[in-house]
């Protein structure tokens, strides 16, 4: 499972439903760069560092997300997050298909990410 949209934390108590206000909503095609030293800042990451930077010189990444099975919560504003301890599996699949390491695949501009257009969804907070 991956998460694509988020709510900005403005410091106020959020209502029970609120439209998401950040994330990549426009269609685009990306050849992401590999950031080998990246580690999620919202929670403790797993065994493998790194992230795919979708837009060069901007903060939108594909990276490890929270593992809800262990009670982790957290998120990053607008990044695509791979949840529930599946990050290593996600990277291994890319490396198997790409026949190389993430760094090699990025250097060859071999990974193509197509983002489909989508309206911001409405977030429903649990009580």
Please indicate, yes or no, if residue 30 is contained in any of the structural domains: yes
- Residue 15 inside a domain? The answer is no
pLDDT score at 43: 64
Give the domain extent around 54.
Answer: 2-6+26-117
Please indicate, yes or no, if residue 49 is contained in any of the structural domains: yes
pLDDT at 14: 74
Residue 71 sits at φ, ψ, to 5 deg, of 85, 5
pLDDT for res 45:
60
Q: What is the pLDDT of residues 80-113, one digit of tens each?
A: 889 888 999 999 999 999 999 999 999 999 999 9
What sign for the dihedral angle of Cα 62, 94, 43, 116? positive
Q: Is residue 91 part of a domain?
A: yes
The pTM of the full predicted model, rounded to 2 decimals, is: 0.82
Count of the separate structural domains present in the chain: 1
């Amino acid at each position: 499972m991956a998460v694509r949209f988020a709510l900005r934390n403005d410091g106020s108590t959020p209502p029970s439903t609120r439209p998401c206000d950040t994330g990549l909503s426009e269609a685009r095609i990306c050849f992401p760069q590999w950031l080998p030293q990246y580690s999620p800042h919202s929670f403790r990451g797993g065994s493998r560092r790194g992230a795919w930077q979708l837009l060069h010189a901007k903060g939108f990444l594909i990276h490890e997300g929270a593992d809800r099975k262990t009670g982790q919560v957290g998120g990053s504003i607008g990044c695509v997050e791979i949840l529930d301890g599946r990050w290593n599996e996600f990277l291994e699949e890319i490396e198997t298909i790409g026949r190389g390491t993430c760094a090699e695949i990025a250097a060859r501009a071999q990974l193509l990410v197509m983002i489909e257009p989508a309206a911001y969804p409405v977030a429903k907070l649990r009580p």
